[in-house]
Amino acid sequence: MIVKGFTIGLLFISLSGCASFIANQITSQKKSNVEGNISDGTVEQQLCDSNNYCVKAIGLGESAAGDHSLKFTFHINDNHKIWRYEAKNDDVETAKPLANHLILLFTGYSQPTQVLYIHQLWLQQMTGAEVIVIPSAENTDTFNFGLNYAPPIVAEIHRLNPTKVHLVGFSMGALAASEVEKQIDNAKLYLVSPMTDFDYSVKAIYDMFYRDKIYATFISQGTLEDAIQIVYEKSGTTSKDRDLIAKLNGAKSPTFIYTSNKDRVIEHAAFNAIQNDNVDVNIYGELNHFEMVALLSQDLMTDFVSDLLERPVLKSEITTLGILCDFDDDDCLNQLPD
C-alpha cells in the first residue's frame, strides 16, 4: 500500500517545495495507525546473513496454536466487508496440507505489519506451515525497495530447510519476494497487485488523492519527478534491479499474479510483456489497490488458496477460506458456528 507513505510529505510540501524533502518523506519509516491487541500473539525475529546483516521479521508465538476466532473488518468508500475465520482445536490430530513448508508474507509499502497478523494466523492455522511476515521496504536504515532483505531471508530459508517456500508479495513487497525467488530452488511465488513501476505508482497516487488539494498548487510535476529520481539515487539501485517484469520473465518457479483492472496504482500494460509459461496472471474486476492487498474478494481468496494448496478450493469450504460478507448481511455472517 502506498497512500499513507506520501500523506505527511505532501501535506507539508507547501512549506518547503523541495524535491529532497518529498524524497525523504517517501523513504522514511512510518508509524502504524493500527491500535489494540491485534498482534499480541506475534514474536519479533532477527533474520541474519553470513555477514551479520539482519532484518526484523514477525513470527507467531505459542498462542497461535490455540482456538481462534479471527475477524477482519475493511471499510473504504462504499465497500464495507467483514471476513471471519474460526480455528478450533478439537484434540483430534488432522494432517495439515503444508506441514514443513514456510510461508513468507512481504508487506506492501507503508502497509502496517500488524494488519497482516490476521492473515498470518489464518494461514498458519489452515496450512500447518510456519508463516513469517517481512516488514515493508521503508523499515530499513537505507531504503532500496526491499532488495536488501534478500540475503538474510535466503540465509534463514537455508537454516530452516523447509520442503517448500511460498513467497507472497503485496504491492512493493513483490520486488523483494521476486528477488528471493531468484536465489532458491524450492519456491512458489504469489504477487498481489505487484508494483511494476515505482514512478508510475507515485504519480498515480498523487493524481488520485492530492491533485485537487489546495497545497497541490505548490507542487510541480517536475518537483515530483525530481523527488522520484532522488529516491532512485539514494537507494543505490539500478533500473535493472527494480525491473519486476524482467525478474518475472526469468522466474523459474510457479508464479501467480493477482491484479485488478480497476487498480489505478498499477500499470497493467506491463503484464503484457511477461513471456514465461511459469507465470499465471489472474485479473479481477471492481477492486481497487487497497481492496486487493486486503484479499477482499471471494474469487481472489479462492484462487489464491487453490494455488497455495495445489487443488481446486470451493467457495463453500468455509473451514478453509473463512467467510467474506457485507457488514450488514447477517445470513452470511451466521454461516460460521458459534
Greatest Cα-to-Cα distance within the chain, rounded to the nearest angstrom: 64
- pLDDT of amino acid 50: 94
Range ranked top by mean pLDDT from 1-5, 275-279, 331-335? 275-279
Q: What is the CATH number of the domain that holds 116?
A: 3.40.50.1820
pLDDT average, residue stretch 13-36: 61
Q: How confident is the model at residue 23 (pLDDT cuts 50, 70, 90)?
A: confident
Cell numbers at 241, concatenated: 534491479
From its phi and psi, is residue 105 left (phi > 0), alpha (psi between -120 and 50) or beta? beta
Please check whether residue 302 lies inside any domain of the structure: no
What are the tens digits of pLDDT across the range 198-216? 999 988 887 776 666 555 5
Instruction: Tell me how far apart the alpha carbons of residues 209 and 197 are, in angstroms, rounded to a whole number.
Output: 18
What are the tens digits of pLDDT across the range 219-261? 677 888 988 999 999 999 999 999 999 999 999 999 999 999 9
Cell numbers at 15, concatenated: 512549506
Q: Give how far Cα 300 sits from Cα of 167, 188, 210, 285, 303, Å.
A: 17, 17, 29, 10, 5
Q: What is the pTM of this model?
A: 0.89
Reply yes or no on whether the pLDDT at 40 is more than 80.
no
Average pLDDT, the chain: 85
Cell numbers at 219, concatenated: 507542487
Please check whether residue 77 lies inside any domain of the structure: no
Number of domains observed in the structure of the chain: 1
Instruction: Tell me how far apart the alpha carbons of residues 86 and 71 are, in angstroms, rounded to a whole number.
Output: 9
Please check whether residue 334 lies inside any domain of the structure: no
Give the range of the structural domain holding residue 161, as residue numbers without chain letter. 3-67+95-280+287-297
Please check whether residue 309 lies inside any domain of the structure: no
High-pLDDT (> 90) share of the chain, %: 58
What are the tens digits of pLDDT across the range 309-337? 999 999 999 999 999 999 888 888 888 76
Question: Cα-Cα-Cα-Cα dihedral of 17, 4, 285, 126, to 10°?
Answer: 160
Please check whether residue 311 lies inside any domain of the structure: no
Instruction: Tell me how far apart the alpha carbons of residues 19 and 232 are, in angstroms, rounded to a whole number.
Output: 13
Please check whether residue 181 lies inside any domain of the structure: yes
What are the tens digits of pLDDT across the range 63-115? 666 677 888 888 877 888 999 998 776 655 677 899 999 999 999 987 877 67
Instruction: Tell me how far apart the alpha carbons of residues 283 and 182 are, in angstroms, rounded to a whole number.
Output: 24
Reply yes or no on whether the pLDDT at 12 is more than 80.
no
Reply yes or no on whether the pLDDT at 284 is more than 60.
yes
Contacts of 7 (CB under 8 A, 6+ apart): none
Q: How confident is the model at residue 29 (pLDDT cuts 50, 70, 90)?
A: low
pLDDT average, residue stretch 286-307: 94
| Residue 264 or residue 91, greater confidence | 264
Alpha helices for the chain (secondary structure H): 3-11, 13-16, 19-27, 116-127, 150-160, 173-182, 198-209, 221-235, 244-249, 289-293, 298-309, 318-321, 330-333
Instruction: Tell me how far apart the alpha carbons of residues 25 and 10 are, in angstroms, rounded to a whole number.
Output: 9
Please check whether residue 332 lies inside any domain of the structure: no
